[in-house]
Chains A and B, each alone.
Chain A
Amino acid sequence: MESSFLGQILDILKRYWPSLALGIQNTLIISLSGTLIGLCIGLIVGGIRAIRLDYTASPAAVFGKKVLDRLGKIYIDVFRGTPMMVQAVFLYYALLNVVHWNKLTAAIFVISVNTGAYMAEIIRSGIQAVDIGQTEASRSLGMSNIQTMMNVVLPQAVRNAFPAIGNEFIVNIKDSSVLMIISIADLMFQAKSIAGSTFQFTATYGITAAIYFILTSIASLILNSIERKMNASSTSFPQSDTDPSNMVLATENAGEEHYE
Chain B
Amino acid sequence: MSEAVVEIHDLHKSFGSLEVLKGIDFSVAPGEVVCLIGSSGSGKSTLLRCINLLEKPDKGVIRVFGEDILSIRNVDRYRANVGMCFQQFNLFKNMNVLKNCMIAQEKVLKRSSKEAEEKAMFFLKKVGMEAFANADPSRISGGQKQRVAIARALCMDPDLMLFDEPTSALDPEMVKEVLEVMKQLAVDGLTMIVVTHEMGFARQAADRVVFMDKGVIEEEGSPEEIFTNPKSARTREFLQHFIND
Contact = CB atoms under 8 A, between A and B. Distances in A.
B123 interface: no
B75 A234 contact: no
A246 B79 CA distance: 22
B239 interface: no
16 contacts: A136-B54, A137-B86, A138-B92, A139-B79, A140-B54, A140-B83, A141-B104, A141-B153, A142-B79, A142-B108, A142-B156, A143-B107, A241-B91, A245-B87, A245-B88, A249-B88
Question: 7 closest Cβ contacts across the A-B interface?
Answer: A142-B80, A137-B90, A141-B104, A133-B90, A140-B84, A142-B108, A56-B75
B40 to A, nearest CB: 11
B52 A143 contact: no
A240 interface: yes
Interface stretch (A11-19, A78-86, A152-160): A152-160
Interface size class of B (residues with CB under 8 A): 35 or more
Interface in A135-186: 136-144, 147, 151-152, 155-156, 159
Residue among A137, A139, A245, A246 with the highest chain B CB neighbour number at 10 A? A137
A241 B93 contact: yes
Contacts of B84: 137, 140
Nearest to B136: A234
A155 B81 CA distance: 26
A139 B54 contact: yes
A69 interface: no
A159 B94 contact: yes
Interface of A: 54-56, 58, 131, 133-134, 136-144, 147, 151-152, 155-156, 159, 233-237, 239-241, 243, 245-246, 249, 252, 256-257
Contacts of B103: 141, 143, 151-152
Contacts of B107: 143, 147, 151
Given A235-B138, A257-B56, A137 B93 contact: no
A51 to B, nearest CB: 15
Residue among A241, A245, A249 with the highest chain B CB neighbour number at 10 A? A241
Given A134-B90, A143-B104, A249-B88, 20 more contacts: A54-B56, A131-B90, A133-B86, A133-B90, A134-B92, A137-B149, A138-B92, A139-B54, A140-B54, A141-B153, A142-B77, A142-B81, A147-B108, A152-B103, A234-B136, A235-B138, A240-B138, A241-B88, A241-B90, A243-B88
A11 to B, nearest CB: 54
Contacts of A243: 88, 169
Interface in B69-101: 73, 75-84, 86-94
B142 interface: yes
Given A151-B103, A246-B88, A134 B93 contact: yes
A239 B141 contact: yes
B139 interface: yes
A90 to B, nearest CB: 40
B55 interface: yes
Nearest to A249: B88
A143 B108 contact: yes
Residue among A142, A151, A237 with the highest chain B CB neighbour number at 10 A? A142
A58 B80 CA distance: 19
A147 B153 CA distance: 17
A237 B139 contact: yes
A240 B90 CA distance: 10
Residue among B89, B93, B137 with the highest chain A CB neighbour number at 10 A? B93
A236 B80 contact: no
Nearest to A58: B73
A138 B91 CA distance: 9
Contacts of A136: 54, 86, 90
Nearest to B80: A142
B55 A257 contact: yes
